[in-house]
Amino acid sequence: MNLKIIISIFLIVIIHTVSYSQINDTIDYKITYELEFKELKNSELKQKEKMFLFISKNHSKFISEGKYKIDSLMASENVKQLSFSEFMRNIPKTKFDFFVINVLGSNKILFHQKILKDKFFYEESINHNWTNHKNTKQILGYNCKKATVSYQGRNYTAWYSNDIPVSTGPYKFYGLPGLIFEIYDSKKEYHFLIKGIESLSNEHILNFNPKNYIQVSKKDYEQTKEKLNENPIKMLEQSGISLDFSNELQKKSLIDSHKEKMKNNNPIELKDDGEKQM
């Protein structure tokens, strides 16, 4: 069993139902995007994942389909009736196990992710310095305008539509006078493209309770992620998880293999204050 599988199983097993209360908005729209991305720097292989953007009057929430299904499964009463093997078969795969909430009408976002036993969130204010262009094109029958911006080491081109006057979009992108339909970096290593717009009924709620999370600074969050990437086995053991290795050589080989993969990791955010993010 490789280290990635060990960590994935551990992360899944310790997830528990979260009860939200502070943000409790009725969702008006569900936007579906397809994200095509290049996970590794030393490979030309690209992968695809379906992503959702839920929009309410005051907030938007960006989340991968896999993460959304995991959260829905864990919140269901049916999960208690599943055996471990059934549970594992029902867990969808995702490369993006976080979600982002944008406070509409502001520059404030809340980024949330679970690292081992702890659920973290940090607040971030991003002032995207968009440059508008005269170019236009149609996407899904909507008239879209072009804008460009630089963010965390990448140069992006976005296409947005005033026909849906909600200043938000996928991931941490917002600040244009309309919904972002498409956005991609200059190398197209991360390419978000809208695939569907759906109006939802009143029973769908966008909710979040910060009391269920540990609030940290973005810097502290990144340092925790870096420690996990450097030596995940050590962090697992510090969390009380004992891993069985036949010998120290096997353990070292697993750590070295993981470190090598992390060196080739190609994150969407390349730098923060001049430093590369993991």
Domain segments of the chain as ranges: 3-208
Give the pTM: 0.81
CA dihedral 154, 159, 160, 161 (to 10 degrees): 180
State the DSSP code for 35: E
Which residues lie below 8 Å from residue 102, measured CB to CB, with a gap of 6+? Answer: 59, 60, 61, 62, 108, 109, 168, 172, 174
Residue 141 CB partners (closer than 8 Å, separation 6+): none
In angstroms, what CA-CA distances link 17 with 43, 72, 95, 153, 218?
A: 37, 9, 21, 36, 25
Q: Sorting pLDDT into bands at 50, 70 and 90, what band is 242?
A: low
Q: Would you state the structure tokens that stand for residue 166, as one six-digit string? A: 């909600």
**pLDDT confidence tier of residue 7, bands split at 50, 70 and 90:** very low
Q: Which amino acid is at 214?
A: I
pLDDT digits (tens, 9 = 90+) for 24-62: 888 999 999 999 999 999 889 999 999 999 999 999 999
What does DSSP assign to residue 57?
S
Two tokens at 93?
A: 């795969």
101 has pLDDT over 60? yes
The mean of the pLDDT values for the chain is 82
CATH of segment(s) 3-208: 2.50.20
Q: How do residues 164-217 score in pLDDT, each as one tens digit?
A: 999 999 999 999 999 999 999 999 999 999 999 999 876 678 878 888 899 999
pLDDT at 229: 77
Q: Tell me, what's the pLDDT at 81?
A: 62
Between strands 214-215 and 118-125, the pairing is parallel
- Tell me what pLDDT residue 134 has: 96
Higher pLDDT, 250 or 59: 59
In sequence order, which residues have a C-beta less than 8 Å from that of residue 193 and are 6 or more positions away?
Answer: 33, 34, 36, 139, 181, 182, 184
| Average pLDDT score over residue span 238-266 | 69
User: pLDDT higher for 130 or 13?
Assistant: 130
> Where do the H-state alpha helices sit in 46-162?
65-75, 84-90
Residue 116, helix vs strand vs coil: coil
Q: Which of 18-27, 153-162, 228-237 has the highest mean pLDDT?
A: 153-162
